[in-house]
Copies of this chain bind each other. A is one copy, B any other.
Amino acid sequence: MFRATIDTNILQSSIKAMSALIDETIMVIDANGATSRAVDAANAAMATMSIPSTQFSTLDATETQLGLDLVKLSSILGMASKSSYTTLSIDEDTHKLNVLFDGFSYTLSLLDPTNMRKPPSVPELDLPAEITIEGTVFKQMVKAASMAGDNMRMGVHGNSFFMESTGTEDNVRMDLSESELIGLKSADVSSLFSLGYLTDASKAISSASEVVIKLGRDLPVIIEFEPSADCPVVYVLAPRITDD
């Protein structure tokens, strides 16, 4: 059983951040708030989100698992007017999700969590380099890299963060020295990532004032940001080993 009311912008920004990489997820709602973790179909990207109870206007919940179609929920929340509030609840009889805002009452069928893939836990990774930049810079980097190749190498060299993308004909590289970054924990490592995933990720990241990128040597990257205050989202993207 649960009933929760929340600023629609907060809910929508977390849902959109998940849906940038993931189509379906199990959301767990309890007295502490809402959390979700899922991997994409290709097993190459993981996303987690968390909205603590403090970000809800009202939250009355015993633990409930919701099997969500993120694309559908995001497009429905996109109908809401600015500065509206959304109330979520479960219809106990039909086991459908009620979504209320602006006088509209949506009743959405849910996916059955028992039929859905169990999300693995976030892997323990030794990622010695840590870079903090603005979300808009991350998006610009990814867009620039896409002009040259299909993959983007991110790494740290001395006191600089760099990205590089090598195509069959063209090449693009960017170096940002420590003074151009919000923060840097230095370590000479780099890894290669698919620009397809990075482009999807950058859509949600671009509006974040800060994004933390944790890198190792040919290891997955962990990307942390808050689409709205105190609502952390974490992406984990698998590395590519060779650039083809």
**Chain A residues engaging chain B, CB cutoff 8 angstroms:** 72, 75-76, 79, 102-109, 140, 143-144, 147-148, 169-176, 180
Is the pair A103, B170 in contact by a Cβ cutoff of 8 Å?
Answer: no
* A180 CB, nearest partner CB in chain B, Å: 7
Q: List 28 A-B contacts (CB under 8 A).
A: A72-B147, A72-B170, A76-B147, A79-B143, A79-B144, A102-B140, A103-B174, A103-B175, A103-B176, A103-B180, A104-B144, A104-B172, A104-B173, A104-B174, A105-B172, A105-B174, A105-B175, A106-B147, A106-B148, A106-B170, A106-B171, A107-B170, A107-B171, A107-B172, A107-B173, A108-B169, A108-B170, A109-B170
Q: How many copies does the complex hold?
A: 3
Is the pair A105, B173 in contact by a Cβ cutoff of 8 Å?
Answer: yes
* Bound complex: CA A79 to CA B147 (Å): 9
Interfacial chain B residues near A103, Cβ < 8 Å: 174-176, 180
Interfacial chain B residues near A102, Cβ < 8 Å: 140
* Secondary structure call for the A interface: mixed
Interfacial chain B residues near A79, Cβ < 8 Å: 140, 143-144, 147
* Bound complex: CA A180 to CA B175 (Å): 53
* Bound complex: CA A219 to CA B174 (Å): 50
CB closest chain-B residue, reference A141: B104
CB closest chain-B residue, reference A167: B109
* Bound complex: CA A102 to CA B180 (Å): 12
Interfacial chain B residues near A72, Cβ < 8 Å: 147, 170
Is the pair A172, B109 in contact by a Cβ cutoff of 8 Å?
Answer: no
CB closest chain-B residue, reference A169: B109
* Bound complex: CA A147 to CA B80 (Å): 12
* Bound complex: CA A208 to CA B124 (Å): 58
* A113 CB, nearest partner CB in chain B, Å: 17
Interfacial chain B residues near A147, Cβ < 8 Å: 72, 75-76, 79, 106
* Bound complex: CA A72 to CA B148 (Å): 10
Interfacial chain B residues near A170, Cβ < 8 Å: 72, 106-109
CB closest chain-B residue, reference A164: B105
Is the pair A106, B172 in contact by a Cβ cutoff of 8 Å?
Answer: yes
CB closest chain-B residue, reference A180: B103
